[in-house]
Structure 1
Amino acid sequence: MITALRMPESPEAAAEAVAGGGRVMAGGTVVMAQVNTGPIDAGELISLSRAGLSGVTVTGGVARVGATTTFADLARHLPFLKPAIRTLASPSIRNLATVGGNLFVPQPHGDFAVCLEALDATVELTGGRETPVGQLELGAGEIVTAVRFRVPEDGTWFFHKAMRRRLNSAAIVTVAATVRRTGNDVSAARVALGAVAPRVIRSPAAENVLLGRPLDREVLDAAGEAARADIAPFDDAYASAWYRRRVLPVHFRRTFEAVQSETEES
């Protein structure tokens, strides 16, 4: 049973409250649902709404996003992320859900974490510790204060999420990538996949196929096939493991073709 709600006014005070056994709450879209449907393993809620952890700054091409920044605010500050953010839940949820809180959503789909992995994002924690997003594990009393990543140059960012519905649905397959080219050939690639393993993963196999080659259909098909070596798909209410493995190459190719078509049209 929840017996108290604390609203610390600094990250340090929030970390101290968490060390005392409280449960962190940012936007509340996950925690309050858990509170309303059954007991949780804490007697106190620690709200971060007054801890001064929201806001987006871009300095020298590097974005720093405060942990309690909502997805609605993030989309306004970093337009390249709008297509990805638009696939997350509904507008009312995006007005509440936070970037930091989304890292702890108890499901493996990785709708936004897959973007952060593709951007090679790092996570800042209280106490001054920083860790790659893919290696995030909280120590006792730690809370996430911000995420940082370099804003990709025009034409280097790619994202695609396959869903049962066009919007407001969990992922069947999610692909995010930052790819730089010299001339027509890929000179650097970082590919992340969501909903095809228990957590967001990077795909070195797909990256290796892309390097030194153009982003044409033959190469994209080969990279999508290669990505199957890195995944560990699962069954859920949206798709089977078999189906996820089957359609991964198709959605991998669509990730790049859709963006390239938009670029050519503009």
Structure 2
Amino acid sequence: MLTAVRAPEVLSDAVSLLSADAGALLIGGGTTTVPGLNRGTPTTIAVSLRRLRSGLAGVTLEGDVVTVGALTPLAALEREPRLAFLHAALATVGSPTLRSTATVGGNFFVEEPYGDVACALIALGATGTVVGPTGEEILAAEAIAADGLPHGRILTSLSFRLPPDGAWRFRKAARRALNSASIVTVAAVVVEDGGVVSTARVALSGATRRPKRSPAAEAALVGRPLDHATAEAAGRAALADAEAFDDEYASAWYRARVLPVHVRRALIGD
């Protein structure tokens, strides 16, 4: 049962509070943690970051490097003209009300099938800045999504490079076009040179247990023309990295069945 909520004004105090109690719960935007608390929890103390938002929210751009504070609401990214390529993807996540509260960093810690933002940032090659008892470290976004963070560590920001013009790809399949959990989400940055794919980062969500890259799909793309046959081959290859599961939105069978289709559609729109 929750008996205390701490809201430190200094990041180091938040780290100390978390480190001192192995059962302490960290609250950022609270869109998933607060409902869980309302349903009942053995957690006795929560550490809220609400008083740290001014320092852990916002978007900065230096050259082509974007840095996003971990407590930045998704709605703030939708209003950022320099991130226009992401707006369509963000619009598929929850409702406007949810996006005004849900944070960019928090999406790395929600259960699937809700990791669309993490999926997009993995495809963009993002790294996260993490602060803990021993100081600051930089981790790949895909590592944070896969493993979470040790207790006492706090994700403070995420950084990535703007993709080259025309290189960004995103596709989400859901029961409804908007405000629905993912059945399959595909995000990718695909760069072509001389008529063939020179580099590719493909990330999956919805059909995986955690948002993750698909090395098999990437290997199927590099060195080949980005045509229908290559996109289909990449879709089939992505199955090797899928971890389809059953839930109230779709069966594991259906997720695996439609994953290759949506990889192809993400890559070439066909």
Q: Which TM-score applies when normalising by structure 1? A: 0.92
Task: Give 3-state SS (helix, strand or coil) of 1:196's partner.
Answer: coil
| 1:59 and 2:70 correspond | no
Task: Give 3-state SS (helix, strand or coil) of 2:51's partner.
Answer: coil
Partner Cα distance (1:66, 1:143) in 2: 12
Q: Which runs of 5+ in 2 are unaligned?
A: none
Q: Contact 1:109–1:200 (CA<8 Å) still a contact in 2?
A: no
Q: Partner of 1:166 in structure 2? A: 177
The 5-angstrom pairing of residues 1-266 of structure 1 reads: 1-21=1-21, 22-39=24-41, 41-51=42-52, 52-77=55-80, 78-126=83-131, 127-136=135-144, 137-258=148-269
Q: Which amino acid aligns with 2:224?
A: R
Task: Give 3-state SS (helix, strand or coil) of 1:147's partner.
Answer: strand
Q: Which amino acid aligns with 1:168?
A: N
Partner Cα distance (1:63, 1:228) in 2: 31
Task: Give 3-state SS (helix, strand or coil) of 1:129's partner.
Answer: strand
Q: Which TM-score applies when normalising by structure 2? A: 0.91
How many residue pairs match? The answer is 258
Q: Contact 1:11–1:53 (CA<8 Å) still a contact in 2?
A: no
Deviates more, 1:145-154 or 1:85-94: 145-154
Partner Cα distance (2:260, 2:200) in 1: 17
Return the offset for 1:109. 4.3
Q: Contact 2:113–2:183 (CA<8 Å) still a contact in 1?
A: no
Runs of at least 4 residues of structure 1 off by over 4 A? none
Q: Contact 2:171–2:266 (CA<8 Å) still a contact in 1?
A: yes
Partner Cα distance (1:15, 1:55) in 2: 21
Task: Give 3-state SS (helix, strand or coil) of 2:43's partner.
Answer: coil
Cα deviation, 1:4-35, whole Å, max 9, x if unaligned, reads 22221122121112112231111111111011
Partner Cα distance (1:224, 1:142) in 2: 36
**Percent identity for Structure 1 against Structure 2:** 49
Q: Which amino acid aligns with 2:11?
A: P
Q: Partner of 1:264 in structure 2? A: none
Q: Which amino acid aligns with 2:236?
A: E
